[in-house]
Amino acid sequence: MHGFSYKSGSLYCEDVDLSSLADEFGTPLYVYSAGTIVDHYKRLDKALDGVEHEVAYAVKANSNLSVLRLLATQGASFDIVSGGELYRVIKAGGDPAHCTFAGVGKTREEIVYALEQGIYSFNVESEEELRYLNQVAGELGVIAPAAVRVNPNVDAKTHKYISTGKSENKFGVDFEAIADLYERAHRDLRNIKLRGLQMHIGSQLTSITPFVEAVEKVIPLVKQLKESYGIEFWSIGGGIGIIYKDSLKSGSVDWWEAQPEEEKPLTIERYGKELVPRLKGLGLKILLEPGRYIVGNAGVLLTKCLYEKKGSAKTFKIVDAGMNDLIRPALYEGHHEIVPLQEPATADRVKVDVVGPICESGDFFCQDRELPDFQPGETIALMSAGAYGFVMASNYNSRPLPAEVLIEESTVTLIRKRQTMEDLIEGEL
């Protein structure tokens, strides 16, 4: 659920009319619901009651300092994939001792920085990386805490670009090779402390089945590693999916209760109900790494319609946001529900492409979709844009990055200023 809904004919975020934000801050504009972020974090934390655990927010989903600060005040841990993300977490008040560092290509500079900050664990993606981590730690005269990422070869049945748990993916070490790797590391790598095991099979999973399959497959390995090497945690990854196609309606409890049982999307309550009994007796701390689940439905991108172009084959609604602002539709074929800020008076729909100003044919937010017939000058919201939206934005076509706003009930806070033309060339010679 989330904090976006129509009230008296206008689309609101919590207690704030989104039209007022478009007027005050301009468009394109990212808007986030603080209440939704906190609610999702707390519900996920509660769903794991019964096992020792930490919820380590995946910073890559949305790394704005105010979002990180909000989660840090709730006691969140953090999953990072770069030295820059660790720097952001620290600046936002996060504790490095509750950070895990993932990613296949860590540099020496990043490793040194993370060791100096005292992170909880490096999630290592290959034997070569583990040996290099040992070398750097040895040169510094310290012990590096590490967990190897196991690739359980489980099909997450998600988009190929966000599937990570199969043998052909670049992430992790083959399931069959993990035990021998831990044995060699324990024997040979004197500056490595084998602290845990990590896995992550993919993102935007809407069925419990792949989670259960992966957990059940890896449990015997986890028990073996605990007995042999005394590992203390198992990170089971993230990947819990969110609602994209009925995003606006999914903000209501009534929508969830009306879904047929066999078609009901995965809820966090079911996630906990299925996994906690399987994890309970292991005697290990369980780490979760959610990103999209926490912030995805907590954000929207507001954009103004500039023109309507009617051709012989299609009608185009041209808006002021582009693929540089939200690249998911172009990159992942990602679906974002599109709704006007003023609730339509009728159910009439027109089939259109909603496109941006970028000089690329891939610059679209939807194609051949039936939508309310919004007109030039009107503002629309691209729903479910809180994850992998602004963080993947760029200055392509020399377009300034949009502003970001955080809503807490009726309080409006500008959490990132819109880039200026001067900002675009800062640092260039």
Annotation: binding site for pyridoxal 5'-phosphate? 239, 289-292, 388
Catalytic residue among 13, 99, 305, 359: 359
Per DSSP, the three-state class of 231 is: coil
Strands 299-310 and 29-33, bridge-based pairing: antiparallel
**What is the DSSP secondary structure assignment for residue 312, as one 8-state letter?**
S
- How many residues does the structure list for the chain? 429
Strands (E), 199-284: 233-235
| Phi, psi for residue 128 in degrees, rounded to 5 | -60, -45
As given in the structure block, the two tokens for residue 14 are 């919590």
Question: Burial level of 328, CB count in 10 A (0-12/13-18/19+)?
Answer: buried
Q: Positive or negative, the Cα torsion across 381, 384, 386, 390?
A: negative
Number of Cβ within 10 Å of residue 262's Cβ equals 5
Q: What share of the chain is helix, strand, coil (3-state, %, to 5)?
A: 35, 25, 40
> 148 with 173: CB under 8 angstroms?
yes
| Rg (alpha carbons) of the chain, rounded to whole number | 23
Q: If phi over 0 gives left and psi between -120 and 50 gives alpha, with beta otherwise, what is residue 271?
A: alpha
Residue 366 is a catalytic residue: no
Peptide bond into 260 cis (omega under 30): no
Number of Cβ within 10 Å of residue 357's Cβ equals 16
Binding residues for substrate: 292, 328, 332, 360, 388
**CA 311 – CA 107 distance, rounded (Å):** 51
Binding residues: 239, 289-292, 328, 332, 360, 388
**CA 88 – CA 59 distance, rounded (Å):** 9
Q: How far is CA 331 from CA 31, 179, 388, in A?
A: 22, 36, 11
Q: Which residues are catalytic?
A: 359
